[in-house]
Amino acid sequence: MKILRIIFWPLIMLKNILDHNWWSEKIIDKTKLDEKVEQSRFVAWKNKLPQPYKLIFEICLFVIIVYIAEIWFNMLGVSMLPWRWDWSW
Protein backbone atom coordinates (compact mmCIF):
# COMPACT_ATOMS: atom_id res chain seq x y z
CA MET A 1 0.00 0.00 0.00
CA LYS A 2 2.82 2.40 0.84
CA ILE A 3 4.51 1.66 -2.48
CA LEU A 4 1.30 2.51 -4.36
CA ARG A 5 1.04 5.76 -2.45
CA ILE A 6 4.61 6.66 -3.43
CA ILE A 7 4.02 5.70 -7.07
CA PHE A 8 0.76 7.64 -7.37
CA TRP A 9 1.91 10.68 -5.35
CA PRO A 10 2.47 12.90 -8.44
CA LEU A 11 -1.01 12.10 -9.73
CA ILE A 12 -2.57 12.76 -6.34
CA MET A 13 -0.79 16.13 -6.12
CA LEU A 14 -1.90 17.02 -9.66
CA LYS A 15 -5.47 16.20 -8.67
CA ASN A 16 -5.12 18.38 -5.57
CA ILE A 17 -3.60 21.30 -7.48
CA LEU A 18 -6.51 21.29 -9.93
CA ASP A 19 -9.16 20.94 -7.20
CA HIS A 20 -10.58 24.23 -5.85
CA ASN A 21 -11.83 22.56 -2.64
CA TRP A 22 -8.28 21.51 -1.76
CA TRP A 23 -7.06 25.09 -2.23
CA SER A 24 -9.90 26.55 -0.17
CA GLU A 25 -9.27 24.11 2.68
CA LYS A 26 -5.57 24.94 2.58
CA ILE A 27 -6.23 28.69 2.72
CA ILE A 28 -8.81 28.31 5.50
CA ASP A 29 -6.44 26.15 7.56
CA LYS A 30 -3.47 28.49 7.14
CA THR A 31 -5.38 31.68 7.94
CA LYS A 32 -7.61 30.06 10.62
CA LEU A 33 -10.58 31.68 8.91
CA ASP A 34 -13.12 29.24 10.36
CA GLU A 35 -12.23 30.33 13.90
CA LYS A 36 -12.51 33.99 12.94
CA VAL A 37 -15.94 33.43 11.38
CA GLU A 38 -17.22 31.53 14.41
CA GLN A 39 -16.23 34.44 16.68
CA SER A 40 -17.76 37.08 14.41
CA ARG A 41 -20.45 39.26 15.96
CA PHE A 42 -22.28 39.41 12.61
CA VAL A 43 -22.53 35.61 12.38
CA ALA A 44 -23.70 35.42 15.99
CA TRP A 45 -26.39 38.04 15.28
CA LYS A 46 -27.50 36.29 12.09
CA ASN A 47 -27.76 32.93 13.85
CA LYS A 48 -29.96 34.46 16.58
CA LEU A 49 -32.54 35.60 14.02
CA PRO A 50 -35.71 33.55 13.68
CA GLN A 51 -35.71 31.27 10.64
CA PRO A 52 -38.10 33.30 8.42
CA TYR A 53 -36.14 36.51 9.05
CA LYS A 54 -32.87 34.74 8.40
CA LEU A 55 -34.21 33.46 5.07
CA ILE A 56 -35.45 36.93 4.07
CA PHE A 57 -32.11 38.47 5.08
CA GLU A 58 -30.09 35.92 3.07
CA ILE A 59 -32.30 36.34 -0.01
CA CYS A 60 -31.95 40.13 0.14
CA LEU A 61 -28.18 39.83 0.52
CA PHE A 62 -28.04 37.43 -2.44
CA VAL A 63 -30.09 39.79 -4.63
CA ILE A 64 -27.82 42.72 -3.77
CA ILE A 65 -24.69 40.71 -4.60
CA VAL A 66 -26.16 39.50 -7.91
CA TYR A 67 -27.17 43.07 -8.80
CA ILE A 68 -23.64 44.34 -8.12
CA ALA A 69 -22.20 41.47 -10.17
CA GLU A 70 -24.60 42.30 -13.03
CA ILE A 71 -23.46 45.94 -13.02
CA TRP A 72 -19.83 44.80 -13.09
CA PHE A 73 -20.53 42.34 -15.94
CA ASN A 74 -22.32 45.09 -17.88
CA MET A 75 -19.17 47.21 -17.66
CA LEU A 76 -17.32 44.27 -19.25
CA GLY A 77 -19.93 44.00 -22.00
CA VAL A 78 -21.66 40.79 -20.90
CA SER A 79 -24.81 40.04 -18.93
CA MET A 80 -26.18 37.32 -16.68
CA LEU A 81 -29.76 38.16 -17.59
CA PRO A 82 -31.09 36.26 -20.63
CA TRP A 83 -33.33 39.13 -21.81
CA ARG A 84 -30.22 41.27 -22.27
CA TRP A 85 -28.38 38.73 -24.41
CA ASP A 86 -27.82 39.49 -28.07
CA TRP A 87 -29.45 36.55 -29.84
CA SER A 88 -28.85 37.85 -33.38
CA TRP A 89 -25.62 36.44 -34.74
Residue 32 counted as domain residue: no
Query: Would you state the pLDDT for residue 14?
Result: 93
CA neighbor of 46 nearest in space, from 37, 59, 57: 57
Residue 44 counted as domain residue: no
Q: What is the DSSP letter of 32?
A: T
Residue 58 counted as domain residue: yes
The rounded average pLDDT for each run of 10 residues, N- to C-terminus, in the chain (89 residues) is 88 92 93 89 93 96 95 90 79
Q: How many structural domains compose the chain?
A: 1
Domain boundaries, position 60: 50-79
Residue 73 counted as domain residue: yes
Taking the alpha carbons of 79, 68, 46, 49 in that order, is the dihedral positive or negative?
negative
